[in-house]
Amino acid sequence: MGAIATGGVRVLNQDVIRKLQITDEMIEAAAEEQERELLRRELEYRGEREPLELNGKTVILVDDGLATGASMRAAVQALKLHSPSKIVVAVPVGAEETCRLFEAEVDEVVCGETPDDFRAVGAWYQDFTQTTDEEVCRLIDEIAHEHKVHDLLKKHPERYSYFG
């Protein structure tokens, strides 16, 4: 029925809400539960690291695909609160109409495939299992480490050499 993101962003699918006769109370209960989960993930994934400074930067939002686009729309709205210079949405597969609608919301959209028979993102993957918190934290730590190495090399090229 929708998606949430940091900064109090909520994207609701009014068609689904009407069709399933979802009440405001049901929406609030679901939003409160998801906001707790969002906070838990932010704390676990970020750890002691400060949020990235996005003002004036080009940001590429990547997802496994676009069906309704609710999650990506919430991410875009949350990102716009940080004033990036450019927002790019990139997905390997998506519903043609959804990909087209994003062209009016962001600076660039890259949809690798927009199949005529698109029904669900998961249908386009051999393995569509959820990524675990442990996997996410490991990948973020790896990227943070590589970023620190890169910064160190840029600041002190006379002291360090890096091959790899």
Q: What is the pLDDT along the chain (164 residues), one digit of tens a residue?
A: 999 999 899 999 999 999 999 999 999 999 999 999 999 999 999 888 888 899 999 999 999 999 999 999 999 999 999 999 999 999 999 999 999 999 999 999 999 999 999 999 999 999 999 999 999 999 988 888 887 776 666 676 665 554 44
**What are the residue boundaries of the structural domains of the chain, listed by start?**
2-129, 130-164
Using DSSP's 3-state secondary structure scheme, residue 132 falls into coil
Give the separation between CA 114 and CA 66, rounded to whole angstroms. 10
Give the separation between CA 105 and CA 99, rounded to whole angstroms. 10
What pLDDT shows up at residue 144?
82
Give the separation between CA 67 and CA 94, rounded to whole angstroms. 6
What pLDDT shows up at residue 155?
72
Strands 58-62 and 108-113: unpaired
What pLDDT shows up at residue 164?
44
What pLDDT shows up at residue 95?
96
What pLDDT shows up at residue 153?
66
What pLDDT shows up at residue 50?
85
Rounded (10°) angle between helices 24-46 and 133-155 = 50
What's the predicted TM-score (pTM) here?
A: 0.82
Classified by CATH at the fold level, domain 2-129 comes out as: Rossmann fold (3.40.50)
Nearest Cα neighbor of 5 from 61, 64, 86, 67 is 61
CA 148, 154, 158 angle in degrees (round to 5)?
Answer: 120
What pLDDT shows up at residue 147?
77
